A and B are shown apart, each in its own frame.
Chain A
Amino acid sequence: MIEAQHLVKWYGPVQAIDGLSFEVPAGEVVGFLGPNGAGKSTTIRMLTGYLPPTSGTATIAGHNMLTDSRAARRKIGYLPESTPLYTEMRVSEYLHFCGKLFGMNRADRVKRIDEVTDKCGLSHNKRRVIGQLSKGNRQRVGIAQALLHDPPVLILDEPTSGLDPQQTLAFRELVQELRGKHTIMLSSHILPEIERSADRVIIIANGRIAAQGTPAELRERASQGGAVLVEAKASPEQMTHTLQAIRQVKAVRTEKHGDWCRAVIHSKDQSDLREPVAQALSAKGFTIREMHLEAPTLERYFVEAVVRRGA
């Protein structure tokens, strides 16, 4: 549904995007992740036809963005970064304007505006002037606008920036509701958003794909080299001594908490250390009150990916 082939973008002497290729099949929700300046917005602008690529092609629903741009643009609902809106207009006025740009007739517009404002939680604010709305509600107007003409492809650039936790949750539910009916591309630098909403995550850094896969796959890959955190009733010296004796242990860092000692343990071979650690500590008779594998977040993998790319 969304296809990028060897996209390259130079801004004068600066290369922003360096041969980006990926494909999003129909109905998939894909998260597009990267730190600021990685080229997320540039890529999205090439996909939506705002910027032409220096080379390479973007294809939306079978329409080449360069040669068949208007047909391709018609298939996209787009929320640009930082949600630009005509602040002097009322919400319903603005949505009517957007509908007209996509060639919707009046009856369609009235019907769809009711539907999307309802979906986005804007029903009570339809008559309000956009400039007077809160950031969260403006964001909702931006999302409503993208949904209005019921496009097969939704491209949302940083859709959750500026939302409070409750609104973020509502947005996640909305994505859940839209899942399957639209092909959705969400960009973010806030990982939990993507982790929970996306079927697949594409991480880009320095204009290239640093990693891609399902959130579970990425977590799996990221978990390698994870650390074990354990808290037991022992002195730091006893802890260090006991833990260092385990064959796979590379490093131990301890911290005293009253009678208890907290240790973070890294392994040599990326194996799971929980079992040997538990055995070693109970063999010495130290009471364990907490132990867990340091949750390997996507964020961590993502940072590592960026560091690797930079190296």
Chain B
Amino acid sequence: MTFTIAKRELQSLFYSPIAYVVLGGFAIGSSVFFIQGFQPGRPATMRGTLDMVVWLLIFLAPAISMRLVSEELRSGTYERLMTSPVNDLQVVLGKWMGALVFFCILLSPLLVQVAVLEVVAEPELGPIVTGLLGLILVGALYLAIGVFASAWTQNQIIAFLLTVFIIAIPTFAAFFLAEEAALKPALRHLVLYISVNNQYQDFAKGLIDIRNFVYFLSGTALFLFLAVKLVESRRWR
């Protein structure tokens, strides 16, 4: 059932114009980052590109997820879906998985860039593999936040902004506060801990640390759980 919903979600993503805007935006954006770092004498890595791509995802992931539930609420198909014998978890997981597969397809231009590096130099593949794995984890978390936000409202724009907002809080907190000298060490530690970009750093460096996995997987599970609760509560409104 979950896969049925995921498959339909993926299909319908490809039918929507926003999907192509996102795919195009990512291909162009990541290529610009790549070309900027693609200079003679510079190390042959994807690190610079991947670091920037994480920033790009703050806007692109919500654009993928904003329609997941909102569109069905708006068009009324949600009623048919929820009166068929599926449970709320299947609906939420299905939608999230469909979006995650789309997200993986979105990352494909990065493989082309890796191939280019492979042709002209001898990049170290370890950090590239962990970097891509990390990106998928970032996507999984952002899309889980997106499903949650999308279940709030039938307005896609609001779902988009809410998702960006939730993602932006920890991201910008770290960006602006971490360098603040007056910040207590414990607080600085917390700010850095909740920052997605900071957690991603280890992956970009080629490290696989169980703590990073715990961060991303528990964050994803938390927002999927909240989304299920929200969908459940809709039955009672």
Chain A residues engaging chain B, CB cutoff 8 angstroms: 45, 48-52, 70-71, 73-74, 76, 78, 80-82, 84-89, 93, 97-98, 100-103, 145
Smallest CB separation, A147 vs chain B (Å): 14
Query: Are B76 and A84 in contact, CB atoms less than 8 angstroms apart?
Result: yes
Question: Is the CB of B130 closer than 8 A to any CB of chain A?
Answer: no
Given contacts A84-B80, A93-B11, 10 further A-B contacts (CB under 8 A): A52-B235, A73-B84, A80-B80, A84-B76, A86-B12, A86-B77, A88-B12, A88-B15, A88-B16, A98-B80
Using CB atoms, name the residue of chain A closest to B86.
A101
Contacts of B75 in A (CB 8 A): 84, 86-87
Contacts of A98 in B (CB 8 A): 80, 84
Known: A73-B83, A73-B84. A85 touches B235 (CB 8 A): no
Chain B residues engaging chain A, CB cutoff 8 angstroms: 1, 4, 8, 11-12, 15-16, 75-87, 235-236
Query: Are A50 and B84 in contact, CB atoms less than 8 angstroms apart?
Result: no
Query: Are A50 and B82 in contact, CB atoms less than 8 angstroms apart?
Result: yes
Contacts of B4 in A (CB 8 A): 97, 100-101
Contacts of B79 in A (CB 8 A): 45, 50, 80, 84
What 10 pairs across the A-B complex have the smallest Cβ distances? A84-B76, A88-B15, A101-B84, A100-B4, A84-B77, A70-B85, A74-B85, A48-B83, A73-B85, A80-B79
Q: In the bound complex, what is the Cα–Cα distance between A165 and B199 (angstroms)?
A: 64
Q: In the bound complex, what is the Cα–Cα distance between A71 and B85 (angstroms)?
A: 7
Smallest CB separation, B169 vs chain A (Å): 31
Q: In the bound complex, what is the Cα–Cα distance between A48 and B84 (angstroms)?
A: 9
Q: In the bound complex, what is the Cα–Cα distance between A88 and B12 (angstroms)?
A: 7
Smallest CB separation, A243 vs chain B (Å): 55
Q: In the bound complex, what is the Cα–Cα distance between A248 and B69 (angstroms)?
A: 65
Contacts of B8 in A (CB 8 A): 86, 89, 97
Q: In the bound complex, what is the Cα–Cα distance between A238 and B199 (angstroms)?
A: 99
Contacts of A87 in B (CB 8 A): 75
Sample 14 A-B pairs with CB under 8 A, ordered by A number.
A45-B79, A49-B83, A50-B82, A51-B235, A73-B85, A80-B80, A80-B83, A84-B75, A84-B80, A86-B77, A88-B11, A98-B80, A100-B4, A101-B84
Query: Are A103 and B77 in contact, CB atoms less than 8 angstroms apart?
Result: no
Contacts of B11 in A (CB 8 A): 88-89, 93
Smallest CB separation, A308 vs chain B (Å): 32
Smallest CB separation, B5 vs chain A (Å): 8
Contacts of A70 in B (CB 8 A): 85, 87
Q: In the bound complex, what is the Cα–Cα distance between A243 and B156 (angstroms)?
A: 68
Smallest CB separation, A12 vs chain B (Å): 9
Partner pick for B83 among A71, A76, A81, A85, CB 8 A cutoff? A76
Q: In the bound complex, what is the Cα–Cα distance between A80 and B233 (angstroms)?
A: 21
Query: Are B85 and A102 in contact, CB atoms less than 8 angstroms apart?
Result: yes
Query: Are A78 and B83 in contact, CB atoms less than 8 angstroms apart?
Result: yes
Query: Are A80 and B15 in contact, CB atoms less than 8 angstroms apart?
Result: no
Query: Are A82 and B76 in contact, CB atoms less than 8 angstroms apart?
Result: yes
- In the complex, which of the residues A80, A86, A97 has the most CB atoms of chain B within 10 Å of its own CB atom? A86
